[in-house]
Amino acid sequence: MKSATISLIASVAIGLAAATSASAFMAFTSSKILNLREGPGEEFPIVGVMERNVRVDVRGCVLDYSWCLVTVDGLVGWAFARSIVIDTQEGIIHLYEAAEKGMVPVVGADGVLVIKE
């Protein structure tokens, strides 16, 4: 059972990595503990746990910028956007603030880049 779960997580991670855009940008976790999940929501299983100030590469966020697809140490998953910050020329800002400025790409729940017109 354990190897089947690990295999499932690995296949999901590989599929998400292949489906994401190559234009990831660096960000950092801002919560003491932040779960990395299989999908964009609390109902999805946890695939990893991150501490504060962990570097993540953000691939994009869902349309409402509540969840973002990230890569951390080669593991791909979804993190709650309000627990991610980026360092800009203006200083450190929350990811959702960057999204409001059009700095964050939108991806679907399957990790595919969404073209906004």
Give tens-digit pLDDT for 92-109. Answer: 999 888 888 888 888 887
Please tell me the chain's helix, strand, coil percentages from 3-state DSSP, rounded to the nearest 5.
25, 40, 35
User: Which CATH number does the domain housing residue 99 bear?
Assistant: 2.30.30.40
**Residue among 24, 20, 84 at smallest CA distance from 50:** 84
Which tens digits make up the pLDDT trace of 34-78? 999 999 999 999 999 999 999 999 999 998 999 999 999 999 999
- Structural domain count of the chain: 1
More confident residue, 2 or 116: 116
Domain that holds residue 47: 2-114
Query: What per-residue confidence (pLDDT) applies to 23?
Result: 66
**Residue among 102, 101, 60 at smallest CA distance from 84:** 60
CA angle 10, 82, 117 (to 5 degrees): 85
Mean pLDDT, residues 71-89 taken together: 93
- 56 by Cβ neighbours in 10 Å (0-12 / 13-18 / 19+) ranks as buried
